[in-house]
């Protein structure tokens, strides 16, 4: 994986060697409860064998019961974090999570255009568990026009997919065929590939639908009955980024990440964290 970071500036950026450590940069908000956001990203990247760097886009006051406050990070400081990390560390993959507003989306998009990482995994954090849309219309528009074309893969769940396509929740897919059609419509928005997550569906299995320019594939696993699923989207997208950093191709990275998140959910009830919806067990393998 040579020449993975190709900056278009005069800054000196380290180039990965053939035997370098796989490194993922996560760009997201902080979850003070530790179950999602930057904290979940770092846990998932570490648990799956890569090294995690981070750029924090917002601070949140939250726990397993909900979010009680959000403090955005100044745009100039987000830029400073990008420059600090990417001027020194050979990043293989950039993973993007919560961005919050149009200004932050623009700042992140500008940084990606400046440093040109080879792989970008975008988890469009747009809809809360309650169903509330977290991004204003101008931010959703900025996400579509500025970030989707730069993303190797986007990983929306069904509510996020509907928000991106300006659909109501009554238009959610009810079967596999409709889900794949929804993924195709997302692909036509300009992303290089789409993984539509099926966790919000019902039934005995959870199926994700992947489509790229010349491939499509379903990834299924047994649905696990637990309330402790906080941070599943962050964890899955970070694991995909981690496996990409280790040299797996995209379908293999998705399958490996799907296996990892399924086991993390399966073992989630071994943890006793908080009074609400607890986190998945990121380090289930190491706890054996």
Instruction: Report, as residue numbers or ranges, the catalytic residues.
Output: 197, 229, 231-234
| Contacts within 8 Å (CB) and 24+ apart, 149-152 | 149/190, 149/191, 149/192, 150/109, 150/112, 150/113, 150/120, 150/122, 151/96, 151/120, 151/121, 151/122, 151/191, 151/192, 152/118, 152/119, 152/120, 152/121, 152/192, 152/193, 152/244, 152/250
Residues in the chain: 288
DSSP string of 45-79? HHHTT-EEEEEEEEEEEEETTEEEEEEEPPHHHHH
C-alpha to C-alpha distance for 139 and 145, rounded to whole angstroms? 10
Number of other CB atoms surrounding residue 91 within 10 Å = 23
Number of other CB atoms surrounding residue 94 within 10 Å = 29
- The H or E element spanning position 28 is strand 23-31
3-state secondary structure 88-117: CCCCCEEEECCCCCHHHHHHHHHHHHHHCE
Q: Which residues contact 26 (CB under 8 A, 6 or more apart)?
A: 38, 41, 42, 45, 52, 53, 54, 55, 94, 95, 96, 97, 238, 241
């Amino acid at each position: 994986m040579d020449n993975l970071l190709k900056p278009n500036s005069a800054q000196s950026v380290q180039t990965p060697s053939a035997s370098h450590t796989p490194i993922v940069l996560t760009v997201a908000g902080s979850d003070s409860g530790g179950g999602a956001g930057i904290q979940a990203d770092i846990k998932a990247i570490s648990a799956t064998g890569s090294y995690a760097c981070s750029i924090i886009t917002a601070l949140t006051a939250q726990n397993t019961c909900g979010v009680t406050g959000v403090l955005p990070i100044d745009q100039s400081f987000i830029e400073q974090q990008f420059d600090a990390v990417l001027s020194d560390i050979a990043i293989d993959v950039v993973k993007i999570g919560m961005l919050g507003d149009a200004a932050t989306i623009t700042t992140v998009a500008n940084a990606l255009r400046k440093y040109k990482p080879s792989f970008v995994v975008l988890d469009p954090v747009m809809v809360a568990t309650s169903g509330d849309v977290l991004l204003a219309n101008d931010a959703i528009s900025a996400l579509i026009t500025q970030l989707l074309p730069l993303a190797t893969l986007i990983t929306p769940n069904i509510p996020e997919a509907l928000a991106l396509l300006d659909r109501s929740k009554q238009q959610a897919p009810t079967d596999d065929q409709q889900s794949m059609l929804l993924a195709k419509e997302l692909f036509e928005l300009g992303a290089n590939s789409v993984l539509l997550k099926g966790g919000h569906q019902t039934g005995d299995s959870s199926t994700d639908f992947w489509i790229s320019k010349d491939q499509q594939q379903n990834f299924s696993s047994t649905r696990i009955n637990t309330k402790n699923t906080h941070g599943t989207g962050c964890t899955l997208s970070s694991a995909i980024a981690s496996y990409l950093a280790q040299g797996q191709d995209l379908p293999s990275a998705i399958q490996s990440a799907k296996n990892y998140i399924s086991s993390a959910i399966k073992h989630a009830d071994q943890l006793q964290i908080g009074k609400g919806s607890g986190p998945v067990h990121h380090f289930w393998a190491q706890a054996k």
